[in-house]
């Protein structure tokens, strides 16, 4: 028996960036993955692995050189601008830096109402929805008249999440959404994303360099290394019993509170690095 049709499918995606002097860089090399409705797929890898490029390609911000991206059975690989704008109702994004992703001159109410007004909602309806959104991300009602700079990093990211869910999308690209936050705030934001998913059924593509963070929120995990997938599977398998040496190194690099356990991981990383050199 086959499972439900994926909400999003990425098939053999390649992205090549053209540089100066005719030089080019291949950021993605035949990447394939899928996301089901209501599911979180963690996309993990170091800086430069190509994980952010996948999110940008899905959003239409990076041009696919080859391959195909399908959303709800529809090919969205090369959508015209107007159709891409209409797709914003279904696909939203939460960026890494909650400050630079929010207009510093706009109040929170205006930031949250903006996507609703663009989609044709009345001003009364849009600003009424703002109150619901603030309550959903556990910010006080008086937050609506404040500017982004008046909030902490964690609170700003909650505003960014509220903006992302304003249109009740079916998929949200989360691009390193907690990497700029301290560990305690990270946990709160992750738990809030999980609660939103449980209530709404939204799917997440959760991009991170931290396998520990991905383990907390994901159902399945895809590991990228230099633009290629090196491991995929259920979260328990990939994070607890990783098979690929690169995934093992990522796991050993994830911070832990226990000093003894951190020392053990350092020794394990050194051993993996030594074994890697000996097999070259």
pLDDT, tens digit only, all 280 positions of the chain: 356 789 999 999 999 998 777 788 999 999 999 999 999 999 999 989 999 999 999 999 999 999 999 999 999 999 998 898 889 899 999 998 877 889 999 999 999 999 999 888 999 999 999 999 999 999 988 899 999 999 998 999 999 999 999 999 999 999 999 988 888 889 999 999 999 999 999 999 999 988 889 999 999 999 999 999 999 999 999 988 889 988 888 877 655 544 344 444 445 545 544 554 444 4
Parallel/antiparallel/unpaired status of strands 74-75 and 24-35? unpaired
Cβ contacts of residue 133 below 8 Å, gap of 6+? 112, 162, 163, 165, 166
Instruction: Report the pLDDT value the prediction gives residue 23, as an integer from 0 to 100.
Output: 86
CB atoms within 10 A of CB 203: 24
Parallel/antiparallel/unpaired status of strands 66-71 and 74-75? antiparallel
CA angle 216, 235, 180 (to 5 degrees): 35
| Ramachandran bin of 156, using left for φ above 0, alpha for ψ from -120 to 50, beta for the remaining angles | alpha
Question: Six-digit token pair at 266?
Answer: 């350092």
Instruction: Report the pLDDT value the prediction gives residue 258, as an integer from 0 to 100.
Output: 44
Locate all alpha helices (DSSP H) within the chain, ordered by sequence: 51-58, 81-87, 108-118, 123-136, 153-165, 183-200, 211-217, 235-240, 245-253, 259-278
How far apart CA 207 and CA 27 sit, in angstroms, is 15
Q: Are the C-beta atoms of residues 254 and 210 closer than 8 Å to each other? A: yes
Question: Six-digit token pair at 59?
Answer: 């959003």
Going from the C-alpha of 45 to that of each of 54, 114, 206, 229, the distances in angstroms are: 12, 33, 11, 10
Instruction: Report the pLDDT value the prediction gives residue 62, as an integer from 0 to 100.
Output: 94
CB atoms within 10 A of CB 88: 16
């Amino acid at each position: 028996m086959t499972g439900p049709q994926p909400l999003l499918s990425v098939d053999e995606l390649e992205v090549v960036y053209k540089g100066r002097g005719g030089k080019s860089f291949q950021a993605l090399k035949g990447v394939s993955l899928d996301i089901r409705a209501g599911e979180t797929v963690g996309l993990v890898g170091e800086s430069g692995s190509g994980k952010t490029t996948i999110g940008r390609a899905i959003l239409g911000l990076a041009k696919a050189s080859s391959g195909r991206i399908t959303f709800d059975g529809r090919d969205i690989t090369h959508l015209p601008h107007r159709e891409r704008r209409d797709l914003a109702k279904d696909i939203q994004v939460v960026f890494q830096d909650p400050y630079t992703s929010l207009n510093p001159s706009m109040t929170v109410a205006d930031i949250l109402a903006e996507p609703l007004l663009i989609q044709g909602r009345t001003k009364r309806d849009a600003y009424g929805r703002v109150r619901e959104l603030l309550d959903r991300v556990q910010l006080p009602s008086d937050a609506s008249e404040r500017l982004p700079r008046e909030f902490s990093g964690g609170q700003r990211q909650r505003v960014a999440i509220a903006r992302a869910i304003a249109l009740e999308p079916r998929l949200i690209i989360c691009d390193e959404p907690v990497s700029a936050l301290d560990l305690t705030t990270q946990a709160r934001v992750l738990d809030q994303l999980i609660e939103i998913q449980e209530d709404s059924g939204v799917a997440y593509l959760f991009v991170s360099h931290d396998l520990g963070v991905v383990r907390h929120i994901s159902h399945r995990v895809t590991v990228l290394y230099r633009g290629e997938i090196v491991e995929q599977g259920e979260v328990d398998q990939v994070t607890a019993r990783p098979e690929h040496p690169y995934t093992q190194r990522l796991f050993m690099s994830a911070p832990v509170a226990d000093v003894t356990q951190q020392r053990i991981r350092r020794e394990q990383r050194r051993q993996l690095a030594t074994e890697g050199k000996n097999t070259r």
